[in-house]
Structure 1
Amino acid sequence: MGFDANVEILRMAFWQIIMAAGPVLAIALAVGLTIGIIQAATSINEMTLSFVPKLIIVLVSFALLANFMLIRLTDYFAFIFDRISTLG
């Protein structure tokens, strides 16, 4: 297993991290930006107004996307374990 194969596996690992965590982070970013714009427009600077809705929406999105994330990660780890078994 050479340097190029190791770099390819590391690239795949980073891509899996982005694909697994990206949707939840994008939803959190969109909700935070929307709430921030609403707070700036109405001059309401309450911290719980920005935290609680974001927390609830992120938890709901995590619950809905958990199956997708688990499938992506188990496929990747099955690939890694197959590569390990071919080495030894």
Structure 2
Amino acid sequence: MDLFANAFYLAVLVIAVIVGPSLAVGLLVSMFQAATQINEQTLSFLPRLLVTLITIMITGAWLIEKFSGLFLQIFAQIPLLVGA
């Protein structure tokens, strides 16, 4: 169960790190659109895409390190899980 909890925590962490800034930029663009009454659907796409790509570039190494740690933990526990 501890292994599944760690994997679930890592999945939530990765989603929060990547999607969180995109949601914040989407909210800011939406507030700008509401204030200026510009109703263009594609206006929020490019800033959100850029922020998501920049976030992945900045946090990518850290996320890969986290995934590698989880995989190493899983591989280290294979003999214990198979023997049980």
TM-score of the pair, normalised by structure 2: 0.88
Identity %: 33
Q: For the aligned residues, what is the CA RMSD?
A: 1.2
One-letter identity of the residue aligned with 1:78: L
One-letter identity of the residue aligned with 1:68: W
Is residue 2:68 matched to residue 1:74?
Answer: yes
Aligned pairs for 1:51-62 (under 5 A) are: 51-62=45-56
One-letter identity of the residue aligned with 1:23: V
Contact 1:28/1:58 (<8 A) preserved? yes
**Distance in 1 separating the partners of 2:72 and 2:51:** 31
TM-score of the pair, normalised by structure 1: 0.85
Contact 1:24/1:58 (<8 A) preserved? yes
Aligned pairs for 1:3-22 (under 5 A) are: 7-22=1-16
User: Where does structure 1 lack aligned partners over 5 or more consecutive residues?
Assistant: 1-6
3-state SS of the aligned residue for 2:39? coil
Contact 1:20/1:73 (<8 A) preserved? no
Is residue 2:37 matched to residue 1:47?
Answer: no
RCO higher in structure (CA 8 A, sep ≥6): 1
User: Where does structure 2 lack aligned partners over 5 or more consecutive residues?
Assistant: none
